[in-house]
Structure 1
Amino acid sequence: LNQYGGLDSTYVPPGWDQWEAIVGGLARPNDPQKFNVNGTVETRVGHQTDILTERAADFLSTHAEQPMFLHLAYTAPHQSKTRTGWVPPLAAPRHEHAFDGLTPPTSPAYNEEDISDKPEPLQMPLLDEAGLAYTQALAEQRAEALLAVDEGVQQLVDALQAAGELDNTFFVFTSDNGYFLGEHRRRLGKHEHYEESSGVPLVIRGPGIPVGSTDAVVGGHDLAPTFLGVAESWGAVQDFVLDGRDLLPLAQDPSQPANRDLLIQAVRPASGGLGYFAVRSEDGWKYVRYANGSAEMYDLNTDPHELDNLAGKEEFAAVEQDLAQRLTAIEACSGDACR
């Protein structure tokens, strides 16, 4: 990201007291890993997820009694890379074949029967037997790769419990993207606006947060304001404007609406993909405008799998016009206007 690790593998961004980042072997989880440890490159041996867990648990055990922030970014269950190219994720050896024969969840969008209503560049052929087999392998090996993540999270919980700080700690669990497993005829991928790709888990656990869930529209840009909201009790001051909003009030009262639209975008000139801007509304609509002028629009309340493109249909012209205006407003906003 932002060429990190490419220009200078010893670079440490400002603001961190402890910095340990993978700069070699990122997609090869069972090979020796090169880490930038506070400006010095070290080689570590073992399964990548286990190494990350060990370092994170050590940090928690050392600093748990004082205010602290830990950002732990597991690579699993990202695809892995071998000498022959990209392959389904490689699990820790102890977890290999743990999910052989797993039946992945499917939806009506799986190998979608009719995609003639979607923009022409998105009209992929039906997945053949090889494509379907690959999605099966992805599902099995992603689940296997996540077993080490599950064990790692438990280790961190145990470390905080041992330090007596578990009930005084906020956990925020999320991901950088979703992923296709055969939906809309895509055997893999993560750059499209469809819910399987753009939707990610967001779980927040901590003091004052009740058990529950919400369908409110939130985004990754809300995380920094949320962390600052927690840190205010330690004396942190937010002295600059952020695009997102603090999610703690919503987490503490999941019944309240977010009352906002959310921008989804992807610009991919290097890969030849079709760039787009999209708006996801609080009331369950999605409108997508592509770089070639084509569009998609879905009512997620009645069509959660995005099978029926309503863009260009006369009976929905007023809705499309409204969403197009909202998209124009949000794609150019900043600060308070983006909240």
Structure 2
Amino acid sequence: MDSVDYMPYVKEHLIDHGTFYKRHFCTTALCCPSRATLMTGKAAHNTNVTNVVPPYGGYPKFVSQGLNDKYLPIWLQDAGYNTYYTGKLFNAHSVNNYGSPHAAGWTSSDFLLDPFTYWYMNSTYQRNTDAPVSYEGRHSVEVLTEKALGLLGEAIKSSEEEGRRPFFLGVAPVAPHANIWSPKYKDGGHADLRDVEFTPPVPMERHKDLFAGVKVPRTSNFNPEQASGASWIKTLPRQTPENVDYNDHFYRQRLRALQGVDELVDAVVKKLESNGVLDNTYIFYTTDNGYHIGQHRLQPAKQCSFEEDINIPLIIRGPGIAAGAAVTDVVTTHTDLAPTFLSIAGASLRSDFDGLSIPLLSGTEVGAAANDTRRHEHVSVEHWGFASNEGRLFDGYQRLYFNNTYKALRLAGMEHNLHYQVWCSNERELYDLATDPGQMTNLLDGEAKDSRATLLGVPLKKMVSRLDSLLFVLKSCKAETCIRPWEALHPDGDVQGLGDALSPRWDRFYEERERMIQFDRCEMGFILDAEGPQFGDKEKEQVNEALRHQATWHEWT
């Protein structure tokens, strides 16, 4: 969506002095599950925080899963760090439940709370164990900037007093989220989202007239003449000119609201510099999910697995990291962030992490990192429950689409760039982003009609058998299996990526494993008996038995 191009301070302080990881992905394109993954190093199916609202998500779900004492700030404190946080932590973290229990692990905190989280001009913050304070009439990001700088000053002072003790500061502005208020939010949680009023983001007064005439990038998938995708997406009508004009306005409001975030970055970097600690500080800039406006005829929102929703910014600046607007193709995900922070802290990584530490690259390493065989080329994306429309409702559109549960796979290798998805309706999608970057042509639409179809020079059926098997492992993986899923299918280690798996040697093995993913029904959250077959111990035994037969057959032929 090009939003970073409109943030000059992010460019000046972060991009020009750091490395842009252009293949960074969230693994759930929805805020609360994505934040839980970022804070725990675990995929959503392992945190069981799979939505923004109870019973399947939100802060109460995070607590009920035992994660309040098993997440990033706890581990950083164990490693000798002071920890600070301000802004949004989780959805349904509210004026009524912030102390039951209080979010653990923070040396000092100032949380933005529901029901005021997304109300730009009426935010409520809650510092440490104090009572919440309302900031009605002031812009939420302006208030956040003051709080971030205050916590940063506190962190620097404590560091000096405690012999240069290291610190971690998380800053989470609400911008550029839609502006939201619902009368039912009065109880401090998220009520029925069908009754919520979504309006465009609200910028600060000094930014409200910027970017006049700017429009959503008119990419090949913007409001296309022909419907694309599958499931409910394929039923969407083409947007009218009035609808497109509104969405362009929504886009401009996002860019305008982001100017407050850009100035926040500027203020934080300058405070680090003025206190003499900038050169000894790592700065990470990212977001919990991406966004679409108009692509595939979609209204403003997220929650899909299209590239706009999952391929998100990650910029890292810090000691020894390549600077000068360095860019790397190495594949990273939000499951990798917690391991990365602990690696920086010199702490041992947990055995139950679903991700790897991100390589912090020097100038000589940037180009070679994407070819590092120790890194994975896969990204597992998952979602449960509804998809929302966050703008004005136009004819033919609903506020919520309830059959938006799916498992998806992104393979971003040197020789392939693929997206494969299985919906809870068991519809399937496959895109070759090398030739179709807008993901407009679902290669499986006519699969049954044309047995001669190929992808990357191999029969389409053969390709799907590999992708489906890989996604079958990832949909229920844990720890090392999430990092190296091919080894679950090939325990001898002779398949390390898609290229190896496509060898004719394995044709018979994969023919017997075709179409492993089958949902039993669509659900609003992670309910195991709706998820269909799982890759477990019984499945591993079957794999080993099939490989023994495969080896015997291969030797005979």
TM-score, normalization by structure 2: 0.57
Give the match for residue 418 of structure 2. Answer: 285
Give the match for residue 246 of structure 1. Answer: 357
Secondary structure of the 2:349 match is coil
Q: What are the superposed Cα offsets for residues 45-103 of structure 1, whole Å, 9 maximum, x if unpaired? A: 32111111111112222223431001111100000025792110001122112223223
1:49-198 superposed matches below 5 A: 49-64=141-156, 65=159, 66-82=165-181, 85-115=197-227, 118-123=229-234, 124-198=236-310
Looking at structure 2, the residues matched to 78 and 182 of structure 1 have their Cα atoms a distance apart, in angstroms, of: 16
| CA positional deviation for 1:293 | 1.1
* Contact 1:174/1:200 (8 A) holds in 2: yes
The answer to whether the aligner puts 1:2 opposite 2:59 as a matched pair is yes
| CA positional deviation for 1:120 | 4.3
Looking at structure 1, the residues matched to 431 and 105 of structure 2 have their Cα atoms a distance apart, in angstroms, of: 42
Looking at structure 2, the residues matched to 86 and 120 of structure 1 have their Cα atoms a distance apart, in angstroms, of: 24
Q: Select which of 456, 459, 475 maps to 1:331.
A: 475
Q: What are the superposed Cα offsets for residues 181-237 of structure 1, whole Å, 9 maximum, x if unpaired? A: 1000012120111001122111111111113112232211111001101111xxx33
Give the match for residue 229 of structure 1. Answer: 343
- Distance verdict in 2 for CA 1:38–1:240, change over 3 Å: farther
Q: Which moved more, 1:209-218 or 1:46-55?
A: 209-218
Give the match for residue 383 of structure 2. Answer: 266
Q: Which moved more, 1:219-228 or 1:46-55?
A: 46-55
Looking at structure 2, the residues matched to 213 and 251 of structure 1 have their Cα atoms a distance apart, in angstroms, of: 11
Secondary structure of the 1:213 match is strand
Q: Kindly name which structure, 1 or 2, has the bigger radius of gyration based on alpha carbons.
A: 2
* Contact 1:259/1:282 (8 A) holds in 2: no
| CA positional deviation for 1:269 | 5.6
| CA positional deviation for 1:159 | 0.5
Looking at structure 2, the residues matched to 239 and 121 of structure 1 have their Cα atoms a distance apart, in angstroms, of: 39
Looking at structure 1, the residues matched to 318 and 98 of structure 2 have their Cα atoms a distance apart, in angstroms, of: 35
Flag structure 2 segments of 5+ consecutive residues without an equivalent. Answer: 1-57, 61-91, 160-164, 183-195, 388-399, 454-459, 484-557
* Contact 2:354/2:480 (8 A) holds in 1: yes
| CA positional deviation for 1:295 | 0.5
Give the match for residue 256 of structure 1. Answer: 369
Looking at structure 1, the residues matched to 350 and 173 of structure 2 have their Cα atoms a distance apart, in angstroms, of: 31
Identity of aligned residues (%): 29
Moved over 6 A (4+): none
The AA in structure 2 aligned to 1:148 is G
| CA positional deviation for 1:16 | 1.0
Secondary structure of the 2:126 match is strand
1:2-41 superposed matches below 5 A: 2-3=59-60, 4-6=92-94, 8-10=97-99, 11-24=101-114, 25-31=116-122, 33-41=123-131
| CA positional deviation for 1:249 | 4.2
Secondary structure of the 1:279 match is strand
* Contact 1:132/1:187 (8 A) holds in 2: no
| CA positional deviation for 1:163 | 0.8
Give the match for residue 501 of structure 2. Answer: none
Looking at structure 1, the residues matched to 345 and 254 of structure 2 have their Cα atoms a distance apart, in angstroms, of: 34
Secondary structure of the 1:54 match is helix
The answer to whether the aligner puts 1:276 opposite 2:406 as a matched pair is yes
Looking at structure 2, the residues matched to 269 and 146 of structure 1 have their Cα atoms a distance apart, in angstroms, of: 26
- Distance verdict in 2 for CA 1:82–1:268, change over 3 Å: closer
TM-score, normalization by structure 1: 0.92
Looking at structure 2, the residues matched to 189 and 274 of structure 1 have their Cα atoms a distance apart, in angstroms, of: 13
- Distance verdict in 2 for CA 1:71–1:175, change over 3 Å: same
Give the match for residue 191 of structure 2. Answer: none
* Contact 1:173/1:201 (8 A) holds in 2: yes
The AA in structure 2 aligned to 1:139 is Y
Looking at structure 2, the residues matched to 328 and 290 of structure 1 have their Cα atoms a distance apart, in angstroms, of: 13
* Contact 2:110/2:127 (8 A) holds in 1: yes
Secondary structure of the 1:77 match is coil
Q: Select which of 318, 332, 344 maps to 1:218.
A: 332
Looking at structure 1, the residues matched to 206 and 408 of structure 2 have their Cα atoms a distance apart, in angstroms, of: 42
Secondary structure of the 1:52 match is helix
| CA positional deviation for 1:330 | 1.2
* Contact 1:30/1:92 (8 A) holds in 2: no
Looking at structure 1, the residues matched to 132 and 383 of structure 2 have their Cα atoms a distance apart, in angstroms, of: 35
Q: What are the superposed Cα offsets for residues 22-61 of structure 1, whole Å, 9 maximum, x if unpaired? A: 1142111112x22221122232432111111111112222
Looking at structure 1, the residues matched to 197 and 404 of structure 2 have their Cα atoms a distance apart, in angstroms, of: 24
RMSD of the TM alignment (CA)? 2.0
Secondary structure of the 2:343 match is helix
The AA in structure 2 aligned to 1:30 is M
* Contact 2:121/2:140 (8 A) holds in 1: yes
The answer to whether the aligner puts 1:294 opposite 2:427 as a matched pair is yes
